[in-house]
Amino acid sequence: MIDNYNDLTVGKYQEIMVVLKGKVVDEYATNIQLVSILSDMSEDDVLNLGLSEYKVLNQKLSFLLVEPPKRMIANMYKIGGFELETMLDVRKMTVAQYVDYQT
Protein backbone atom coordinates (compact mmCIF):
# COMPACT_ATOMS: atom_id res chain seq x y z
CA MET A 1 0.00 0.00 0.00
CA ILE A 2 1.18 3.52 -0.80
CA ASP A 3 1.94 5.29 2.48
CA ASN A 4 3.97 8.34 1.45
CA TYR A 5 4.00 11.09 -1.15
CA ASN A 6 7.16 9.81 -2.85
CA ASP A 7 5.33 6.66 -3.98
CA LEU A 8 2.06 8.38 -4.82
CA THR A 9 1.47 8.59 -8.58
CA VAL A 10 -0.31 11.47 -10.26
CA GLY A 11 -3.13 9.12 -11.26
CA LYS A 12 -3.66 7.93 -7.69
CA TYR A 13 -3.51 11.54 -6.47
CA GLN A 14 -6.27 12.47 -8.92
CA GLU A 15 -8.41 9.54 -7.74
CA ILE A 16 -7.92 10.65 -4.13
CA MET A 17 -8.92 14.21 -5.00
CA VAL A 18 -12.14 12.97 -6.64
CA VAL A 19 -13.00 11.13 -3.41
CA LEU A 20 -12.12 14.08 -1.17
CA LYS A 21 -13.99 16.62 -3.30
CA GLY A 22 -17.06 14.39 -3.66
CA LYS A 23 -20.04 14.10 -1.39
CA VAL A 24 -18.87 12.76 1.96
CA VAL A 25 -21.30 10.13 3.21
CA ASP A 26 -19.29 9.45 6.34
CA GLU A 27 -15.69 9.12 7.47
CA TYR A 28 -15.77 5.33 7.19
CA ALA A 29 -16.90 5.31 3.56
CA THR A 30 -14.27 7.89 2.63
CA ASN A 31 -11.49 5.96 4.38
CA ILE A 32 -12.56 2.71 2.72
CA GLN A 33 -12.35 4.43 -0.68
CA LEU A 34 -8.91 5.85 0.12
CA VAL A 35 -7.57 2.50 1.35
CA SER A 36 -8.97 0.92 -1.80
CA ILE A 37 -7.15 3.41 -4.05
CA LEU A 38 -3.84 3.31 -2.21
CA SER A 39 -3.75 -0.47 -1.83
CA ASP A 40 -5.00 -1.38 -5.33
CA MET A 41 -7.88 -3.32 -3.82
CA SER A 42 -11.56 -3.10 -4.65
CA GLU A 43 -13.82 -1.56 -2.04
CA ASP A 44 -15.42 -4.97 -1.56
CA ASP A 45 -12.00 -6.49 -0.84
CA VAL A 46 -11.35 -3.76 1.73
CA LEU A 47 -14.74 -4.42 3.35
CA ASN A 48 -13.88 -8.12 3.60
CA LEU A 49 -10.59 -7.51 5.43
CA GLY A 50 -10.24 -8.44 9.06
CA LEU A 51 -10.72 -5.51 11.39
CA SER A 52 -7.10 -5.53 12.62
CA GLU A 53 -5.74 -5.69 9.04
CA TYR A 54 -8.01 -2.81 7.99
CA LYS A 55 -6.90 -0.77 11.00
CA VAL A 56 -3.24 -1.11 9.95
CA LEU A 57 -4.03 0.00 6.39
CA ASN A 58 -6.26 2.84 7.60
CA GLN A 59 -3.45 4.18 9.81
CA LYS A 60 -1.22 4.38 6.73
CA LEU A 61 -3.55 7.08 5.37
CA SER A 62 -2.18 9.52 7.93
CA PHE A 63 0.40 10.89 5.46
CA LEU A 64 -2.53 12.49 3.60
CA LEU A 65 -3.19 14.75 6.60
CA VAL A 66 0.13 16.54 6.06
CA GLU A 67 0.80 18.82 3.11
CA PRO A 68 3.27 17.26 0.64
CA PRO A 69 6.82 18.55 0.99
CA LYS A 70 7.83 21.26 -1.44
CA ARG A 71 10.69 20.33 -3.74
CA MET A 72 12.76 22.18 -6.27
CA ILE A 73 11.79 21.71 -9.89
CA ALA A 74 13.97 19.13 -11.59
CA ASN A 75 15.58 19.80 -14.97
CA MET A 76 14.41 16.42 -16.29
CA TYR A 77 11.51 14.10 -15.44
CA LYS A 78 11.09 10.47 -16.50
CA ILE A 79 7.45 9.56 -17.01
CA GLY A 80 6.81 6.13 -18.42
CA GLY A 81 9.16 5.75 -21.37
CA PHE A 82 9.57 9.50 -21.83
CA GLU A 83 12.26 11.88 -20.63
CA LEU A 84 10.77 15.34 -20.28
CA GLU A 85 12.89 18.46 -20.01
CA THR A 86 11.51 21.26 -17.86
CA MET A 87 11.10 24.55 -19.67
CA LEU A 88 11.90 27.18 -17.07
CA ASP A 89 12.49 30.09 -19.44
CA VAL A 90 9.53 30.68 -21.78
CA ARG A 91 11.73 32.85 -24.01
CA LYS A 92 13.48 29.64 -25.11
CA MET A 93 10.19 27.96 -26.01
CA THR A 94 9.42 27.24 -29.65
CA VAL A 95 6.08 28.05 -31.24
CA ALA A 96 5.29 24.33 -31.47
CA GLN A 97 6.01 23.88 -27.77
CA TYR A 98 3.82 26.87 -26.93
CA VAL A 99 0.93 25.49 -29.01
CA ASP A 100 1.32 22.09 -27.27
CA TYR A 101 1.33 23.83 -23.90
CA GLN A 102 -1.84 25.78 -24.72
CA THR A 103 -3.56 22.67 -26.05
Q: Is the pLDDT of residue 65 over 80?
A: yes
Residues 6+ apart with CB under 8 A from 85: 75, 76
Question: What pTM was estimated for this model as a whole?
Answer: 0.75
Can you tell me the distance from the alpha carbon of 12 to that of 34, in angstroms, rounded to the nearest whole number? 10
Question: What is the chain's mean pLDDT, rounded?
Answer: 93
Percentage of the chain exceeding pLDDT 90: 78
